[in-house]
Amino acid sequence: MQKISDRPIGVFDSGVGGLTVMREIMLQLPEENMIYIGDTARVPYGTRSAETVIRYSLEMADFLVGKGIKLLVVACNTASAFALNAIKERFDIPVVGVIEPGAKKAIEATRSKKIGIIGTEGTIKSNSYVHAINALYGNRPVVVKEHGVIHFDRYFEINLDDITIFTKACPLFVPLAEEGWVSNDVTVLTAEHYLEGLKKEPIDTLVLGCTHYPLLKGVISRVVGDNIVLIDSAQETVKEIKETLLRYGLESISPSYLQQKFYVTDSPERFIKVGERFMGKKIDHIEIINIGG
């Protein structure tokens, strides 16, 4: 009989972005079996309503739990922002999202107590990082100030007593990363436009609150200045996964087999092309499945 610890870790994202988390898990936990699903038929989640993101996320989680996973990783920031609680309520396996680990690291990293957070429209609107930081920091009163009036320049300042958070949605970073435009002039210009407001603020830490943004680390760092610490949620999330596996006695040691299996809800060819770049390794064992359609 298969040991519970030999069962796979399930990872889901709206598309290819969660492969940044998958890559990190494979690097740090090479003995783990993994199943990944990217909802490529319905990406992006970042511009959708909370209700829709919750419905899609529960369907993704249902699929993975049906495959007998031992732990579920919600690798998508937008899904973590809107659906983590609903998923935790529905399933009785451990569930790890990407927001709390990033929030924890930001608090550890900041000296000035001025933190920037960038993400999709959904993640930023939900204020999930702000709530996570606030919860870890002792639930201070929240005061929100808005800077700028037009879409590109608008960013928010959120005062939690002695910690201040500046948030900004950067939706075009997702297609740029998917296109592989991680360092060209268009990307630099876009980053300058988005980050103009945050750059004026005395932040010393910037949370990359979207699966795709670690791919643009170079450009983002160039634009905001290399004295600002960039927090990569993927790396922090794997620490949380390790701790959770240990806590539940689920870590895989000398597994009887080792496999990474990928599922998508549409266009496996594009997923393979973009995904291999995200992962830095070949994607074998991919299958297309019909969910929600």
Specify the pairing of strand 95-97 against strand 286-288: unpaired
The reply to whether 35 sits near ligand DGL by the rule CB under 6 A is no
Which residues between 232 and 251 bind ligand DGL (CB under 6 A)? none
Instruction: Using the minimum distance from each CB to ligand DGL, give the nearer residue, 15 or 252.
Output: 15
166 binds ligand DGL per the rule CB under 6 A: no
Catalytic residue among 210, 219, 229, 230: 210
Beta strands in the chain (DSSP E): 9-13, 34-38, 71-74, 95-97, 114-119, 142-147, 155-160, 163-169, 205-209, 229-232, 260-264, 286-288
Q: Is position 45 an interface residue for ligand DGL (rule: CB under 6 A)?
A: yes
Q: Is 120 in the site for ligand DGL (CB under 6 A)?
A: yes
Q: Of 160, 156, 119, give the one whose Cα is nearest residue 136.
A: 160
Asked if 170 is an active-site residue, the reply is no
Choose among 256, 219, 242, 208: nearest CA to 106: 208
Tell whether residue 46 is a contact of ligand DGL (CB under 6 A): yes
Distance (Å, rounded) from C-alpha 190 to C-alpha 196?
10
Burial class (CB in 10 A: 0-12, 13-18, 19+), 220: buried
Q: Least separation, in Å, of the C-beta of 210 and ligand DGL?
A: 4
The catalytic position among 76, 118, 198, 230 is 76
Give, as ranges, the residues between 212 and 231 that touch ligand DGL (CB under 6 A).
212
Q: Is 267 left (phi over 0), alpha (psi -120 to 50) or beta?
A: left
Q: Which residues pair with 193 in a beta bridge?
A: none
- Residues of this chain, 60-89, that bind ligand DGL according to CB under 6 A: 76-78
Q: Minimal distance in Å, beta carbon 177 to ligand DGL?
A: 9
- What is the nearest approach in angstroms of ligand DGL to the Cβ of residue 93? 21
Among 5, 11, 14, 37, binds ligand DGL (CB under 6 A): 14
Task: Tell me, yes or no, if 210 is annotated catalytic.
Answer: yes
> Which residues have a catalytic role annotated?
76, 210
Return residues touching ligand DGL (CB under 6 A).
13-15, 17, 43-46, 76-78, 120, 123, 174, 210-212
